Structure 1
């Protein structure tokens, strides 16, 4: 579920932090920049593990801060394919079952990915699995707080970095153009998961966590 990723970044230390030990100041800045952020094709950053190398620090004209190139290892949440995870049901809605792993809560399993046949109880606001036995069907309620197990089968990264203005927006006519409609918000990191049965697949989405560009 968690992996160590080697990274390289240039860290800026402001003058008011010069009295601190350099490693402590750098660790704080790295965690401010990366913790709880998604790095494209890397995963969800959790916390700094250690600093492996510090290169020379520089102070540039017009900037009183120091700039140090740092080699470090960061703890990243990135489940392996075919890894089985266990979460807890946070709640249910007509859109599906909402699950939490503790690390993040934005996990939704859509209705078509639940154990079938399944139905949504509007009165109780829970999903119900109509489990068939020799004695007939039994309703198994997916209550809040119950554990649920699923398998990771795929992952999708989307670069959600803001793009600059296009060339077509330049010129006098750009001022008269109506404002563009906001695009649908996309999650930068998505896990495709399923239950033990091959046909049951679900989508796990981490959001809102804007991507962080490092290296």
Structure 2
């Protein structure tokens, strides 16, 4: 789920940017500072939407930059347990499928793809159901439910943080799975 949150901070505006619009430079600087950061409570920082308040600049001896206290609105992404998410299968491995859900990835373990027994087809790079012959390939669009969410709180600006976070997904419920499976199930129930 995406959240908007108000944050207070101080932004450093370097002297070579004094001639540019203050709000624009402050938003750009804040985005560079926070991009890719994870917070256990807020989730993954996406961007600064707007600056609500910007204080008068202060100078610090020995630094030509201006420091402004700001209150800004930021957008975060944090999947919640039991939330329904849609995404694209980006990788198939023998133990499941990795799905890109917004700016993060989740894993659908082979036991959570369908109620059917699943085989991994290494040549094709696909997961194939034994009884129903349903298949899951890279590039497929799916709908899944988050069954476990573990966000690692890291304060460094590093995309490795999102890889350390774990999002477990399932497609073993009604109206979940590959979009084509959902449509087929609707057609069967209608008649």
Give the alignment's TM-score, normalised by structure 1. 0.69
Residue of structure 1 equivalent to 2:184: none
2:57 alignment counterpart: 57
> Any stretches of 5+ residues in structure 1 without a counterpart?
131-136, 163-184, 199-215
Contact 1:91/1:126 (8 A) holds in 2: no
* Count of aligned pairs: 170
* Structure 2 residue 137 is matched with structure 1 residue 138: no
Residue pair 2:49, 2:73 contacting (<8 A) in 1 also = yes
Structure 1 residue 104: Cα displacement: 3.4
Could you say which residue in structure 1 is the equivalent of 2:9?
Answer: 9
Partner of 1:150 in structure 2?
144
Give yes or no for contact 1:120–1:128 (8 Å, CA) kept in 2: yes
1:29 CA displacement? 0.3
Aligned to 1:45: 45
Q: Which residues of 2 match residues 168-207 of structure 1 at below 5 A? A: 187=163, 189-197=165-173
* Structure 1 pair 9–15 and aligned structure 2 pair: CA distance change class (3 A): same
Give 3-state SS (helix, strand or coil) of 1:142's partner. strand
Match of 1:174 in 2: none
Is the Cα–Cα contact under 8 Å of residues 128 and 136 in structure 2 kept in the other structure?
yes
- Unmatched tracts of structure 2, length 5 or more: 175-191
Kindly name which structure, 1 or 2, has the bigger radius of gyration based on alpha carbons: 1
Q: Distance in 2 between matches of 1:66 and 1:104?
A: 33
Q: Does the 8 A contact of 2:53 with 2:70 survive in 1?
A: yes
When normalised by structure 2's length, the TM-score is: 0.77
| Aligned 8 A contact 2:109 2:170 in 1 | no
CA deviation profile, 1:152-207 (whole Å, cap 9, x unmatched): 24432323458xxxxxxxxxxxxxxxxxxxxxx88454333323439xxxxxxxxx
Q: CA RMSD in A?
A: 2.5
Instruction: Name the CA shift for 1:85/1:142 in 2 (closer, same or farther; >3 Å).
Output: same
CA contact (8 A) 2:150 2:167 kept: yes
SS state of the match for residue 56, structure 1? coil
Higher helix share: 2
